[in-house]
Amino acid sequence: MYKSERQQFYTQIEQFWADLYDEEYALYDMYEITEEEVEKIRLATERTGKIFFKTAHLLRNVSNETLLEMGYPEETLHFLRLKTMEVESVIARFDFIPHNGSYKCIEMNADTPTFIKELFFVNERICHAFAMENPNADAEQVLKDLIQESVKQNKCSQKTHIVFTAHEQNIEDYYTTLYLMQFISGAKFTPLHQLQIQRGVGLFDEEGKQIDVLYRQTFPIENLILDEDEAQNKIGLWLLELVEQNLLTIINPPSAFLLQNKAVQAVIWGLHEEGNEFFSAEEHEWIADYLLPTYLEESPFMDKGLRYVKKPVFGREGDTIEIYEADGHLLKADAQKSYHHYTKVYQQYIEQPKTTFHSEKGKQTGDILVGSFLISGKPSAIGLRIGGMITNNLSYYLPIGIKSEKFGF
């Protein structure tokens, strides 16, 4: 019954990845949440966003040595200092763990967050199917308005050429990009492999037309800088040079990559622990409320007898993350090790709450991770991923809806 109902529902939604890696991804089930809890998440998102955005101003002015210690690739140092837009990131997503009646941020996905179409589009439709109120009811219109505003900041004329790009063969990245592109009139899609670059001149689409604004929602900078053509020209670095030379605008902007580094949270926590006046008394309260102790070494946790998480400063989908006991004994590790070469950060481990849910494999129990979007600095759509101790690319999307009775995490 569940399988047929799920299939019937998701086949109605075009250009969506209800299954990923030949496994069920989007559940045909609903997690009930109260309006009060939704407001708590949005408040946590807004306040945490202000902390991160403020820290970006500081990081643009620190030494190269400090940035290198934080794990930024040396090739990106000039790029990191660029401020090309009013906001530090157009589309960012925080990952929160519900904890003691509040929410703790485990990371900010400032540069290339996914989970967009699920929360801004699909959640509305599944709430309707379950006769529940959608907590993200107005989020899609706000997303549309703020994406249009981000492009207008860099649109000099009607002739401005706006291109969206992604890996065509990655269905999640491709459909996410097409979903966002519909909000920009006159924009076109060009697959990543068909982009053409002339060093010091510009970036061009497959028809040879110069691109003014490149929207690369799912293409991380840390991957881009490794790109070479058949002649081993470092075309990824050439693209960064175009941005530095004001020959190309990219969205998300360079400042989003600055904030993508997980060591930023270690910087924030370090300033907080020493009571640094860079943050106001109110901001220090926010950091204590919403952030977790995070360092560039594990010794603070071993000294205090606390479990901790080791993760690369760049990475996604739980890849290369490890959880340790207080004595340094490995408790859990993700099977993938794609980001092992990056600098690591160490963060206090807190247990995720669990919930039961229906799936094609029957009734299951999983750990809750809250995704909450920050769109041009404003809190927006929220949603749940359900998985194991490490939320990875095999975790489920569990839709959320509001009922009138009191219900919380």
- Point out the least confidently predicted range of 175-179, 268-272, 327-331: 327-331
| pLDDT at position 157 | 65
CA distance 134 to 400: 7
Model confidence over 277-328: pLDDT tens digits? 999 999 999 999 999 999 999 999 999 999 999 999 998 777 889 999 999 9
> Which of 153-167, 195-209, 231-245 comes out lowest in average pLDDT?
153-167
Contacts 24+ apart (CB under 8 A), 141-146: 142/375, 142/378, 142/380, 143/91, 143/116, 143/183, 143/375, 143/380, 143/381, 144/183, 146/90, 146/375, 146/376, 146/378
Measured between alpha carbons, how far is 338 from 296 in angstroms, rounded to an integer? 20
End-to-end CA, the chain: 28
Strand pairing report for 213-215 and 249-251: parallel
The candidate with the shortest Cα–Cα distance to 287, out of 267, 316, 301, is 267
> Is residue 1 helix, strand or coil?
coil
Q: Could you report the per-residue pLDDT of 190-212, keeping only the tens digit for each? A: 999 999 999 999 999 999 999 99
pLDDT surpasses 90 at 59: yes
**Proportion of the chain above pLDDT 90, given as a percent:** 89
Matching residue, tokens 């807004």: 46
Does the pLDDT at position 390 exceed 90? no
| pLDDT of 399 | 98
Percent of the chain at pLDDT > 70 equals 97
The residue extents of the domains of the chain are 293-349
Residue 403 pLDDT > 90 = no
pLDDT in tens, 210-226: 999 999 989 999 999 99
Range 152-181 average pLDDT: 90
pLDDT in tens, 14-32: 999 999 989 999 999 999 9
Predicted local confidence at residue 407, as pLDDT = 42
Q: Which of 212, 218, 156, 219 is nearest to 187 (CA)?
A: 212
Total residues belonging to the chain:
409
pLDDT average, residue stretch 113-125: 97
CA–CA separation, 300 vs 111, rounded Å? 29
Tokens of 210: 């110069």
Confidence check: pLDDT of 405 > 70? no
Q: Do residues 190 and 215 make contact, with C-beta atoms less than 8 angstroms apart?
A: no
Confidence of residue 154 (pLDDT cuts 50, 70, 90): confident
Residue 232 has pLDDT above 80, yes or no: yes
Contact 172, 117 (CB under 8 A): no
Residue 408 in this model has a pLDDT that exceeds 60: no
| The pLDDT of residue 120 is above 80 | yes
Q: Is the pTM of this model over 0.85?
A: yes
| Confidence band of 72 (pLDDT split at 50, 70, 90) | very high
The per-residue pLDDT of the chain, averaged, comes to 94
User: What average pLDDT does the segment 240-252 reach?
Assistant: 96
